[in-house]
Protein backbone atom coordinates (compact mmCIF):
# COMPACT_ATOMS: atom_id res chain seq x y z
CA UNK A 1 0.00 0.00 0.00
CA UNK A 2 2.75 2.45 0.95
CA UNK A 3 4.89 1.26 -1.95
CA UNK A 4 2.09 2.14 -4.38
CA UNK A 5 1.72 5.58 -2.80
CA UNK A 6 5.46 6.17 -3.16
CA UNK A 7 5.40 5.09 -6.80
CA UNK A 8 2.59 7.57 -7.46
CA UNK A 9 4.65 10.36 -5.81
CA UNK A 10 2.16 10.80 -2.94
CA UNK A 11 4.77 10.51 -0.17
CA UNK A 12 7.45 13.11 0.55
CA UNK A 13 10.31 13.05 3.05
CA UNK A 14 11.63 16.49 4.01
CA UNK A 15 9.89 17.99 0.98
CA UNK A 16 11.41 15.56 -1.55
CA UNK A 17 9.46 12.82 -3.31
CA UNK A 18 10.33 9.50 -1.67
CA UNK A 19 11.01 6.16 -3.30
CA UNK A 20 9.87 2.97 -1.49
CA UNK A 21 13.47 2.06 -0.58
CA UNK A 22 14.29 5.47 0.91
CA UNK A 23 15.82 5.26 4.37
CA UNK A 24 14.55 7.64 7.01
CA UNK A 25 16.48 9.10 9.91
CA UNK A 26 15.47 10.77 13.17
CA UNK A 27 13.99 14.27 12.70
CA UNK A 28 12.80 13.47 9.14
CA UNK A 29 9.33 14.80 8.31
CA UNK A 30 7.17 12.43 6.26
CA UNK A 31 4.17 13.96 4.50
CA UNK A 32 1.40 11.89 2.91
CA UNK A 33 -2.28 12.15 2.08
CA UNK A 34 -4.74 9.86 3.85
CA UNK A 35 -8.53 10.17 4.28
CA UNK A 36 -8.60 13.47 2.37
CA UNK A 37 -6.17 15.22 4.72
CA UNK A 38 -2.44 15.76 4.44
CA UNK A 39 -0.73 14.19 7.41
CA UNK A 40 2.73 15.07 8.71
CA UNK A 41 4.73 12.54 10.74
CA UNK A 42 8.09 13.28 12.39
CA UNK A 43 10.48 10.38 12.95
CA UNK A 44 11.75 10.48 16.55
CA UNK A 45 13.95 7.40 16.55
CA UNK A 46 14.61 4.22 14.60
CA UNK A 47 13.97 0.91 16.39
CA UNK A 48 16.68 -1.75 16.48
CA UNK A 49 14.32 -4.36 14.99
CA UNK A 50 10.69 -4.69 13.97
CA UNK A 51 8.15 -3.66 16.59
CA UNK A 52 4.46 -4.26 17.06
CA UNK A 53 1.83 -1.74 16.02
CA UNK A 54 1.23 -0.65 19.63
CA UNK A 55 4.87 0.42 20.00
CA UNK A 56 5.14 2.46 16.80
CA UNK A 57 3.96 5.65 18.54
CA UNK A 58 7.15 5.63 20.62
CA UNK A 59 9.19 6.23 17.47
CA UNK A 60 7.03 8.85 15.72
CA UNK A 61 5.13 12.06 16.40
CA UNK A 62 2.04 13.16 14.51
CA UNK A 63 2.43 16.85 13.60
CA UNK A 64 -0.76 17.09 11.56
CA UNK A 65 -2.57 20.34 12.42
CA UNK A 66 -5.81 19.99 14.39
CA UNK A 67 -7.64 22.00 11.71
CA UNK A 68 -7.11 19.12 9.28
CA UNK A 69 -8.93 16.68 11.57
CA UNK A 70 -11.69 19.24 12.15
CA UNK A 71 -12.04 19.55 8.37
CA UNK A 72 -12.37 15.76 8.11
CA UNK A 73 -15.16 15.75 10.72
CA UNK A 74 -16.91 18.53 8.81
CA UNK A 75 -16.72 16.46 5.62
CA UNK A 76 -18.28 13.48 7.40
CA UNK A 77 -21.12 15.64 8.73
CA UNK A 78 -21.78 17.17 5.32
CA UNK A 79 -22.07 13.69 3.77
CA UNK A 80 -24.59 12.69 6.44
CA UNK A 81 -26.61 15.85 5.82
CA UNK A 82 -26.78 15.16 2.10
CA UNK A 83 -28.09 11.62 2.53
CA UNK A 84 -28.83 9.98 5.86
CA UNK A 85 -27.34 6.54 6.37
CA UNK A 86 -29.89 3.82 5.76
CA UNK A 87 -32.21 5.95 3.67
CA UNK A 88 -32.39 5.04 0.05
CA UNK A 89 -33.22 1.94 -1.84
CA UNK A 90 -34.71 -0.73 0.43
CA UNK A 91 -32.77 -3.92 0.96
CA UNK A 92 -34.03 -7.28 -0.21
CA UNK A 93 -35.22 -8.07 3.31
CA UNK A 94 -37.06 -4.75 3.49
CA UNK A 95 -38.82 -5.46 0.18
CA UNK A 96 -39.90 -8.90 1.42
CA UNK A 97 -41.26 -7.37 4.62
CA UNK A 98 -43.19 -4.79 2.61
CA UNK A 99 -44.65 -7.48 0.36
CA UNK A 100 -45.69 -9.61 3.35
CA UNK A 101 -47.24 -6.60 5.06
CA UNK A 102 -49.51 -5.96 2.09
CA UNK A 103 -50.62 -9.60 1.88
CA UNK A 104 -51.62 -9.98 5.53
CA UNK A 105 -55.35 -9.77 6.30
CA UNK A 106 -56.45 -9.10 9.88
CA UNK A 107 -58.47 -11.93 11.45
CA UNK A 108 -61.57 -9.78 12.07
CA UNK A 109 -61.73 -8.79 8.37
CA UNK A 110 -60.88 -12.25 7.06
CA UNK A 111 -64.57 -13.32 7.08
CA UNK A 112 -65.52 -10.43 4.78
CA UNK A 113 -63.08 -11.58 2.12
CA UNK A 114 -64.20 -15.24 2.12
The three state secondary structure string of the chain is: CHHHHHHCCCEEECCEECCCCCCCCCCCEEEEEECCEEEEEEECCCCCCCCCHHHHHHCEEECCCHHHHHHHHHHHHHHHHHCCCCCCCCCHHHHHHHHHHHHCCCHHHHHHHC
Give the pLDDT confidence of 25-77 residue by residue, as tens digits: 999 999 988 878 888 999 999 999 999 999 988 999 988 888 888 888 888 77
Model confidence at 3, in pLDDT bands (50, 70, 90)? confident
Model confidence at 7, in pLDDT bands (50, 70, 90)? confident
Amino acid sequence: MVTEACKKNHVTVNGQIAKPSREVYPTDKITFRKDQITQIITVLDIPESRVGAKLVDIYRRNDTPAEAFAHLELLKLSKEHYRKTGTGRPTKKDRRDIDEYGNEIPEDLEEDFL
